[in-house]
Amino acid sequence: MPVLRVALAQMNSVVGSLSDNVATLQRLRTRAAAAGATVVVTPELALTGYPPEDLLLKEGFVDATRVALAELSLAPDLPVTLVGAVLEESLGLHLGPSSDGRDIARRLEGSHESAHVANVATVVGPDGVGPSVAKQFLPNYDVFDEQRYFHPSLRSGPLLNFDGIAVGVVICEDIWVSPGPAHDLAREGASVLLVPNASPYARGRQREREQMLATRARETGCAIVYCNLVGGQDELVFDGQSVVVNAEGRVVARADAFTEELVVVDLDLPPSDRGIPVSTLYARPEVEWSAPPPRISEPLSDVAEVYEALVMGTRDYLRKNGFREALVALSGGIDSSLVAAIAVDAVGARAVRGFALPSRYSSEGSRGDAYDLAERLDIAIETAEIEPAHQVFAAMLAPLLGEVPTGLTDENLQSRIRGVLMMAMSNASGAIVLTTGNKSEMATGYSTLYGDSAGGFAVIKDVPKTLVYELCHYVNARAVARGDLAPIPDSVLLKPPSAELRPDQRDDQSLPPYELLDPLLALYVEQDWTASEMVAAGHDPELVRRITRLVDRSEYKRRQMPPGVRITKKAFGRDRRMPITNGFFEDQW
């Protein structure tokens, strides 16, 4: 039976940096050539990075993409490569009527009138730039906004001929549709489907992908080569975990998570019993190379996967935006401890600086915990007492308020003084401030605008408080398993969470206990349950009313928060777009 040797180039693209992406593609193609690969599959929009967003509205960017594709073809010794790119719709793309008329309205619905490009996978090889296959189904939900930018194809692209093996190409969302493009290509005679993807990470997503791929393989009788993007892009993280399943739906190869790598797989496939266009004939390279057994990387545990997503998202945000150093305000609490640990794993201890900014209310235990943490992580730490500034601001405000600031005004004042100091250090050093607020706090508005929210990147903004504790225990257990000292002191894990902005303050004086709060936030924010649905499910009506009101009234704060890593299926940011001015409360009816 013929063998198709496929290389999956699980690469980390940089949005907009065509030169960097060309260099990465050529490096991976060179490795694939040494391995004797017949064809290299790259992720969706590998050349432009994903998502390129409004760069696609710039004619110069689209023109430069076409030049970059041509540059990739100037390498006659490298294998044929399926490159994720964009092309103008006028360049011979398959945007005409579909063969069966199925679901055209769905593909066209909402398409932006000014869109003039297609999301394509383009064949690049020794003979230059070959045919392109355009994406048919454009997602427009969650973090996706493809109908703003792309025109959909209305029929499947041509089959490719690799030494008589009929190969179909299906781009990302198209493989999820049943019946859909995969079934069309199977009916035309394809025995394997190459699937470029840019599928962002969210908890549980990989299990869903592999279940879907197994189902689609069994439905179509095709092996499926699913190559996913890896790396951080603003709030999104792409986890890789590219996978190959055989026609029975069994996983035969899986790449690592959160790592750029090249995976080479030999697929025993039947030759096509139908005619395949000679114009798309590609021959196997004359290279003798014995393929090792396909490697099936073990999936990470749920908490380990989340942690690695946070590390990669932080690393790539700093690296791709030119930041060489990160600053973290260390309060001695659990949130700042986790952020510091993530920062060290992302960019190294030498590139992380901690600042202890105690007030008159900061306990000796918390002061000591901040220094203990810094020593365990081997990061520099400096102290700046905020009491002098606190007194000056209080004296300045007293005539305006008619009294010395008290209550929430005084609490927020302390937080804003810290924010001013951290941002001043950022200005002076060029380093980025990593904020330390978690999702539970952001959801309920338990944060201070221009205070603890001041910074350039919010590492754990999509991590609920209960998960913060799980991640800290994971970090410690991993270190101990390596024979190292646990980085996060036990005292940090054991003490009640507190902002320490007034005497004996605890979070549960302002919020419900996190073990009650977080499950309700997951229902309301991530699953879009209504308050009445939550009550009908057995949750306390007064608690539900209190939490939903807190969430709804804090939207204006969240709009002003820095971006942060998305790890759930609905984060505050790209995929949750509630109006700030919102007069709807369910109980008004």
Q: For residue 90, report the phi and psi dihedrals to the nearest 5 degrees.
A: -80, -5
Residues 6+ away with beta carbon under 8 Å from 428: none
- Tell me, what amino acid is at 545? R
For residue 381, CA distances in Å to 311, 326, 333, 360, 416 come to 21, 12, 15, 19, 20
Q: In this structure, are strands 243-245 and 236-239 parallel, antiparallel, or unpaired?
A: unpaired
Q: Which of 263, 174, 253, 278 is nearest to 220 (CA)?
A: 174
Distance CA 316, CA 345 (A): 12
Amino acid at position 289, single letter: W
Amino acid code (one letter) for 549? R
Helix 334-347, helix 364-377: angle, nearest 10: 10
Measured on CA atoms in the order 108, 112, 114, 119, is the torsion positive or negative? Answer: negative
Neighbours of 205 (CB within 10 A): 15
For residue 326, give Cα distances in angstroms to 82, 187, 191, 373: 37, 54, 49, 16
Cα dihedral value 346, 350, 351, 354, nearest 10 = 100
Strand partners, 233: 236
Please answer whether residues 375 and 344 qualify as being in contact, where contact means their C-beta atoms are separated by less than 8 angstroms: no
- Residues 206/239, Cβ–Cβ less than 8 Å: yes
Q: How far apart are CA 485 and CA 479, in angstroms?
A: 6
Non-local CB neighbours of 133 within 8 Å, separated by 6+ positions: 94, 120, 121, 122, 153, 156, 157, 158, 169, 171
Q: Report the alpha-carbon distance of residue 136 to residue 151 in Å, rounded.
A: 8
Helix (H) or strand (E) holding 105: helix 104-108
Contact between 268 and 1 under an 8 Å Cβ cutoff? The reply is: yes
CB atoms within 10 A of CB 160: 26
Q: And the tokens for 510?
A: 């302002």
Q: Which two tokens stand for residue 511?
A: 């919020």
Amino acid at 489: P
Supply the DSSP symbol for 153: P
d(CA 182, CA 175): 6
Question: How far is Cα 577 from Cα 145, in angstroms, rounded to an integer?
Answer: 13
Active site members: 44, 135, 172
Alpha helical stretches, state H, 456-496: 465-481, 490-494
Contact indicator for 549, 523 with CB cutoff of 8 Å = no
CB-CB contact of 177 with 145 (8 Å): no
